Chain A
Amino acid sequence: MNEERLRALLRETRAPGEAEAERRGLLLVNAAFEQRQARPGRLVLPRLAVALAIGTLLAALLLSPAGAAVRDWIDDVFTVGVQDAQPALTEVPGGGRLLVQSARGPWVVQPDGSRRLLGRYGEATWSPRGLFVGAAAGHTLSAIEPDGTVRWSLSADAPVADPRWSPSGVRIAYRAGRALRVVVGDGSGDTLLDRGVAAVPPVWSPAGHHLLAYVDAPQTLAIVNTDTGERVGVAGAPADLREFDWAGNGSWLLFATRRSLLLRPIAVDKLAGELDLGGGRRIRLPGGAAIESASFSPQGETIAVLLERRDGDRGPRSEVLLIDAAGERPRRLFSAPGHLSDLTWSPDGDSLLIGWPDVDQWVFIPAGGRDRIRAVSDISAAFAPGEPGLASFPRVEGWCCPAPR
């Protein structure tokens, strides 16, 4: 091949997102340079020591889609968790209230970190404005105030699971054994919707209609108007579907299996009372990655994905990706050795809470990449007072709106 032609072709070739990558890199480099200026005796410090010294650089490193080698330092230094973490849960970084499921039951965590155990319930979900918690215990579904007061309960003929409060606040969908049911928010009007559904949590339409999407026993995605009982949409669902989500703007459904993420556009024909489901689009993910969890941001503009993959002999490695709502432009937000859990958006969509059970921390990561990462240590003990040594890592059920006035 002609050398000049090759030279010209190489110079014409553009790497993807050069300008954005340059901007991100400059932030990182400037942060590293500032820390270099600040550090004493810098002529003789080895690289690892530099990494240890630059606490604020950590945020820049982790918030950029920084890469293998850069993150390797972080792994070396921070396998015991995010440094400078709060030693105890004294506030919810970013505000809002958390609903946290421990072995003893669900807890409501206030913005100042104070928390209240609601009782011996196995699952819980926020109402849309955080005025109530829907909780399941055995065959019972209850609506509880955040101070633990039970407002009402109903009994089902099978174990209750996956309670989900509608965005309007006036319906709760739940599974009772293999059946799917819906009840009015005051505990009245308990109605059977489907006798045989898959063990996948149902999802409400964010648009305010009482449309509920669920997967029925033959693995069909069904969308039903819970006010009329009428099915308004049906489509095939992936056979090994683990969870799905409906974008906050109502225009996309996201399906997550262990190995793939699929987006389907969805449109509501209000006049015809029907839904139009478009063809699926597979989101490209790193090879070898298993999907632990995926969800839309509250505004529906971004998808967060928690992945895990084997990292050679070093065991599993987890990472959080942000992808735009069209399934494009993946950006690595956080990466850590071991398992991560509890992918949870803040109510305003500005940050994500990630559980890191291996180091007993919650990590609060700004989604925009500008502010620093914050972390809280000793999470297990916070939800098992009086049980030193017996605590298990709790599960985050939801991150809700500010406390009602």
Chain B
Amino acid sequence: MGTENRLVREAQRDSQAALTELYSVHWRSAYRAAYLVVHDGTAAEDIAQDAFLAAIDALDRFDRRRPFGPWLHRIVVNRAIDWARREALRREVAEPASTPDPPPPPEAVGETMMAALAQLPVEQRATVVLRYLLDYTPGEIARMLDLPRGTVNSRLRRALDRLGDLLGEEQ
């Protein structure tokens, strides 16, 4: 946190090295979180890039008392949810011939996980990613997604149950 605070402060003072370090620290988590929600590499890259551009845009106004990571992740996950909803809507209205191709398979290690995640509603996917990839508490997730905490808890519970079913694991 102290290091991050310093990097933000130096970036505000026009240190490109500090910005690059912030980027290095947070890029992969931002990209991976977006990917796990949208299941589309290009869209995930877009979303992560956009979040960093928004960060640069807001850098001068950024309150250094706040942690940078959660602020970035909040942008990423909310935009990923928006993207996934738009995409779902587009698929609904698309003519049969334009049914989207399935996303390219992820690298083998996470293939089963990705397939199972894809079965969840996007809101549950986002909650799972925030909780189990990015390690936010249900309370923090509730604030990030602007939801009641109970809703976050119930989404997590349903998601865990469903993933357990899909992955064939015991509770």
Which residue numbers of A lie inside 8 Å of B, CB to CB?
1-3, 5-7, 9-18, 21-22, 24-26, 28-30, 32-34, 36-37, 42-43, 47, 50, 64-71, 259, 284-289, 309, 312, 330, 332
Contact = CB atoms under 8 A, between A and B. Distances in A.
A5 B169 contact: yes
B5 interface: no
A18 B32 contact: yes
A70 B53 contact: yes
Given A6-B128, A18-B32, A42 B107 contact: no
Report which residue of A2, A33, A42 has the largest number of chain B beta carbons within 10 angstroms of its beta carbon.
Answer: A33
Interface stretch (B63-71, B137-145, B147-155, B159-167): B159-167
Contact of A16 (B52, B57, B79, B106): B106
A160 to B, nearest CB: 35
B109 interface: yes
Contacts of A32: 52-53, 56-57
Contact of A15 (B16, B32, B49, B52): B32
Contact of A10 (B91, B104, B132, B160): B132
Contacts of A29: 19, 23, 49, 52-53, 56
Given A1-B161, A42-B60, A288 B32 contact: no
The B interface is mostly helix, strand or loop, or mixed, namely helix
Contacts of A25: 23, 27, 31, 45, 48-49, 52
Range of interface residues on B (Cβ < 8 Å): 35 or more
A6 B163 CA distance: 9
B104 A18 contact: no
20 contacts: A1-B169, A3-B132, A5-B169, A9-B113, A10-B110, A10-B113, A13-B106, A13-B110, A13-B113, A15-B41, A18-B31, A25-B27, A37-B16, A43-B60, A47-B54, A69-B50, A284-B104, A287-B90, A288-B95, A312-B90
B81 interface: no
A291 B46 CA distance: 23
A22 B53 contact: no
Among all A-B residue pairs, the 5 with the closest Cβ atoms: A67-B46, A287-B100, A13-B110, A1-B164, A288-B98
Interface of B: 11, 14, 16, 19-20, 23, 27-28, 31-32, 34-36, 41-50, 52-54, 56-57, 59-61, 79, 83, 90-91, 94-95, 97-101, 104, 106-107, 109-110, 112-114, 128-129, 132-133, 160-161, 163-164, 167, 169, 171
B41 A28 contact: no
Contacts of A26: 20, 23, 27
A9 B133 CA distance: 9
Nearest to B160: A1
Nearest to A5: B169
Contacts of B52: 25, 28-29, 32
A306 B112 CA distance: 34
Given A68-B46, A287-B98, 7 more contacts: A14-B32, A67-B49, A70-B49, A259-B97, A288-B90, A288-B94, A330-B42
Contact of A289 (B79, B98, B132, B163): B98
A14 B109 contact: yes
Given A22-B31, A67-B49, A69-B50, A332 B98 contact: no
Contacts of A259: 97-98
Residue of A9, A12, A17, A26 contacting most chain B CB atoms (<10 Å):
A9
A7 B163 CA distance: 12
B100 A286 contact: yes
A167 to B, nearest CB: 34
A30 to B, nearest CB: 7
A287 B59 contact: no
A64 B99 CA distance: 26
Contact of B113 (A12, A15, A28, A68): A12
